[in-house]
Structure 1
Amino acid sequence: MDNRQLIMTAIEHIEDNLHQPLSVRSLSLFTGYSIYHFIRLFQGVTGLTPGDYIARRKITEAVRHILCEPGRSLLDISLDYSFKDYETFVRTFKRLLHTTPTQIRQKRNLVLPLLLHRLYSHDLQRWTDQHTIPPQTVDLGEIKLQGVQVTLNNDPSVISSAWEELWSRLSTIPERKLPEKYYQLGQWTEDYEDNGIRFLCGCELNNTRSLASRSLAGQSLISPELPIHSLPPARYLKFQHRGRSADISATYKYIYGVFLPKTDYRLTLPYEFEYYGKDYLGPENPASTSEIYIPISSL
């Protein structure tokens, strides 16, 4: 059993016992390693200490229950995850998410909570590059996109269907930049946990500031059927995803669950986007590289 498999065994044990008291010492005994060696090994594979992983997973699942079960008391939910008292539950919330259970329930958060979703073996297999390639900070001006919009709940096939529709209707976007520059924009609202995340699969437009009043042969130069989204000038963290598009969820788990919580960034802009440039070789090509942009502040 290699190190990654060993840590995956520990993670599965944590996931099976999220509703029970868990200690790092008990995990080290479970794996047969000294506590010192186990902590170093766990952090080397995941980027998190085992104690942080346990706390983040418990809080992430508690957030899900707070939003999905509005009739349950916050105290009962805290007890579900074996917090010794409600004050400890609230302190852990504030430390990890910079908010409170009450604010989560009332959806009064101005920032996106940085949650850690369950890790699987294939996630860890794809994290090696993420540990070694730091993101770049870039400033971008206004970006206007036009394309096909869908809402993602549980069926990821809606994304590929949106791209297929975009290809078939590309000629209806006469103001697209040439050669085309393709993006996938993800947007969330306060109720995204219940109603899903909106995605726009589209291409970048030329400066269309004055096109609303222009027409050709009585028709608008901008297709009225495909929505247009304007992203404000902003500062971004630019990450790279290497590999198939279907595996990009592992990269997002690393960004939101591991990297960003270690920083002082607060995500106040409710979107992210992927850009497919010259190094993108297609969704199924394992040598493909796409770019992920996470806005960290307005300019």
Structure 2
Amino acid sequence: MTAPDTSRRQYARRMNRVLDHIDAHLDSPLDLEALAALAHFSPFHFHRLFAAWMGETLGAYLQRRRLEAAAQGLTLMPEASVLQVALRVGFGSGEAFARAFKLHFGCTPTAWRAGSTERWGRYLQAQREQLAQLRKLDQDGRSVGSEDGDSCNFIESHSMQVEIKTLAPQRIAYLRYIGAYGPAVTQFWGEKVAPWMQAEGLFGRPSYGISHDDPSVTPADRCRYDAAVAVPPDYQASGEASITELPGGRYAVARFEGSGAEIGAAWSALFREWLPSSGLRCDGRPCFEHYADENSYDPATGRFSCEICIPVVKL
């Protein structure tokens, strides 16, 4: 491994540590000096490095993440007032929050909440149209949704087979991808994650795909996804990999079989069709996909199976 490669991987670990800390402390002051210390950089250099790494300044990133988290909260926590949502993401007043929210999303927080159902409907329709286009472009003449595990039936069904399970926390090592969810994530697993797992002797262990952002809210090129694998207590991260804990607790768990192009629509359907009628809501833990073993993926067809896991609490 060359010195530039080693240096870049160290930078990735440090920056991911900062991003994880920010998400866990959106309701707290997040000053430049403290975040720079977390990354082991001087404040002056950290500010410039963060902007170069993320494509936006630290201040712009913090504002965007707080507003995106608030937008999700307005949709998924209907029992919370607008002020409560604002305070949960670090705004000191409802007025300041309302001004920033309208500037970012083009509408008031109240209007955003009222339009949640319609917005999810548009997003789900876009997912369906994308799947229809992929079928037309299939060079092998295979249907993207086959009779065996047809994800379109999964999406259309209003009686999805969802179980509520209590999952234990899991220590994981992960590599991070930033960009649009969908087929590019599958490519990321094949080209970067699989060689890393093989080199580290991690094949055969439970693995996870962790989506940190709502693609109907966050710009596609800013969405964050962690490809992770369960690791023992004595495992030490190397290269670009980072270590964290996947939280335990109650999750809604649904079985999925299909392709990388289809899973986004399955996620959308669960949030739009199943969750509102479940008597539950999401909390602040990340959503993820659970892959039980290395046989979850068929390289010949690109199809895979997993469990979609949504963290839930009572309304």
Question: RMSD of the alignment, in Å?
Answer: 4.2
Instruction: Find out whether 1:151 has 2:185 as its counterpart.
Output: no
**Separation in 1, partners of 2:104, 2:112:** 22
The letter of the residue matching 2:267 is Y
The letter of the residue matching 1:196 is R
- The answer as to whether partners of 1:166 and 1:201 remain within 8 angstroms in 2 is yes
When residues 281 and 150 of structure 1 are mapped into structure 2, their CA distance, relative to the original with a 3 A threshold, is closer
Instruction: Find out whether 1:228 has 2:243 as its counterpart.
Output: yes
Instruction: Find out whether 1:183 has 2:208 as its counterpart.
Output: yes
- Which residue pairs with 1:93 in the alignment? 113
- The answer as to whether partners of 1:242 and 1:287 remain within 8 angstroms in 2 is yes
Q: Residues 189-200 of structure 1 correspond to what in structure 2 (within 5 A)?
A: 193-194=218-219, 196-200=222-226
- Which residue pairs with 1:266 in the alignment? 281
Q: CA deviation at 1:238?
A: 0.5
**Separation in 1, partners of 2:242, 2:275:** 31
**Separation in 2, partners of 1:160, 1:134:** 28
Q: CA deviation at 1:158?
A: 5.1
Instruction: Find out whether 1:134 has 2:150 as its counterpart.
Output: no
Report the more deviating stretch, 149-158 or 118-127: 118-127
Q: CA deviation at 1:138?
A: 0.7
The letter of the residue matching 1:70 is L
Q: Residues 240-259 of structure 1 correspond to what in structure 2 (within 5 A)?
A: 240-259=255-274
**Separation in 1, partners of 2:299, 2:282:** 28
When residues 134 and 230 of structure 1 are mapped into structure 2, their CA distance, relative to the original with a 3 A threshold, is same
SS in 1 for 2:238: coil
- The answer as to whether partners of 1:146 and 1:202 remain within 8 angstroms in 2 is yes
Highest CA radius of gyration, 1 or 2?
1
Which of 68, 82, 103 matches 1:70? 103
**Separation in 2, partners of 1:151, 1:287:** 22
When residues 118 and 297 of structure 1 are mapped into structure 2, their CA distance, relative to the original with a 3 A threshold, is closer
**How far does the alpha carbon of each residue in 1:218-259 deviate from its partner, in whole angstroms, 9 at most, with x for none?**
xxx432531122112221000111222321122112111211
Q: Percent identity?
A: 15
**Separation in 2, partners of 1:293, 1:280:** 16
Q: Which has the higher helix share?
A: 2
SS in 1 for 2:276: helix
- Which residue pairs with 1:168 in the alignment? 195
When residues 135 and 284 of structure 1 are mapped into structure 2, their CA distance, relative to the original with a 3 A threshold, is farther
- Which residue pairs with 1:12 in the alignment? none
The letter of the residue matching 2:308 is I
**Separation in 2, partners of 1:232, 1:185:** 11
Q: Residues 96-135 of structure 1 correspond to what in structure 2 (within 5 A)?
A: 115-116=120-121, 117-119=123-125, 120=128, 122=131, 126-130=151-155, 131=157, 132-135=159-162
TM-score by structure 2 length? 0.49
Q: CA deviation at 1:186?
A: 1.1
When residues 268 and 134 of structure 1 are mapped into structure 2, their CA distance, relative to the original with a 3 A threshold, is same
The letter of the residue matching 1:292 is I
Consecutive unaligned residues in structure 2, runs of 5 or more: 1-74, 76-98, 133-144
Q: CA deviation at 1:289?
A: 2.7
The letter of the residue matching 1:240 is R
Q: Residues 41-56 of structure 1 correspond to what in structure 2 (within 5 A)?
A: none
The letter of the residue matching 1:145 is I
**Separation in 1, partners of 2:104, 2:227:** 37
**How far does the alpha carbon of each residue in 1:75-95 deviate from its partner, in whole angstroms, 9 at most, with x for none?**
8xxxxxxxxxxxxx9488359
Consecutive unaligned residues in structure 1, runs of 5 or more: 1-55, 57-65, 76-88, 98-113, 212-220
Q: Residues 24-35 of structure 1 correspond to what in structure 2 (within 5 A)?
A: none
When residues 127 and 290 of structure 1 are mapped into structure 2, their CA distance, relative to the original with a 3 A threshold, is same
**Separation in 1, partners of 2:163, 2:101:** 36
**Separation in 2, partners of 1:196, 1:229:** 21
**How far does the alpha carbon of each residue in 1:242-286 deviate from its partner, in whole angstroms, 9 at most, with x for none?**
222321122112111211122332212242111222572426648
